[in-house]
Amino acid sequence: MEPRTQHDPATEAGDFHRALRDLIRLHQLRDRDRVCCYDVTVSGAHALEILATQGPLSLNALAAELFVDKSTASRVVGCLEERGYVRRVPDPLDGRAIRVELTDAGADMEAQLRDDAVWEMQAMLAGFDPEVRRGMLGFLRQLTRTSATHAGATDASCCRTDPGAD
């Protein structure tokens, strides 16, 4: 049992955990408000962004990118299509599949949303050292990767109630 000093790994990890929890919780709620006036849901906004980055995708691929069930993805696409932001195009190579494409309006909307977020992020980043910024970006991505791994192995990691006696 090591003493909990300021530099104790567990203490530091606890700080990170709290910071991350607050951030996630806040974004969960804030984004809902922010996005509403743009007439798209949070998932919709993410879908637009993904489509803008990766080009047309099948529904399954989109669902995977969004980390949601394909049924949810289907509904999200339905909403976006109603508003004219995406198009469902039948896949010429596979009669079962569709390709979800961004329309011009969708691309425009996506640019607006991204601009907004980027602008805000830029302001935030200004106060940090370039080297630290690079490290942070890697950290965020690493965190996502690790979390994704754990999420994938839910059955095992979900109910490991006792890490020590295992």
Q: Does 10 bind a second copy (CB under 8 A)?
A: yes
Question: Closest approach of Cβ 8 to DNA, in Å?
Answer: 31
- Minimum gap (Å) between residue 78 Cβ and a second copy: 20
159 binds a second copy (CB under 8 A): yes
Selection from DNA, a second copy, none that 88 binds (CB < 5 to 8 A by kind) is DNA
x-or-dash string of contact with a second copy, 68-97, rule CB under 8 A: x-----------------------------
Of the candidate residues 2, 33, 82, 104, the single one contacting a second copy (CB under 8 A): 33
Under rule CB under 8 A, residue 99 binds a second copy: no
For 100, residues 6+ apart whose C-beta sits below 8 A from its C-beta are: 47, 51, 56, 57, 58, 59, 62, 77, 86, 87, 88, 89
Helices (H), ranges, the chain: 9-36, 42-54, 59-66, 70-82, 104-125, 130-152, 154-158
Which residues sit at the interface with DNA, rule CB under 7 A?
Answer: 29, 41-44, 58-61, 67-72, 74-79, 88, 91, 94-98
CA distance 150 to 158: 9
Which of 11/147 has CB closer to DNA? 147
Q: Return the structure tokens found at 108.
A: 């425009």
Q: From the CB of 90, what's the least distance to a second copy, in Å?
A: 29
> How far is 64 from 124, CA to CA, in rounded Å?
30
**How many residues in the shown chain lie near a second copy by CB under 8 A?**
77
- 55 φ/ψ sector (left φ>0, alpha ψ -120 to 50, else beta): left
Q: Which does 60 bind (CB under 5 to 8 A by kind): DNA, a second copy, none?
A: DNA
In sequence order, the 6+-apart residues with CB closer than 8 A to the CB of 103 are 84, 85, 86, 87
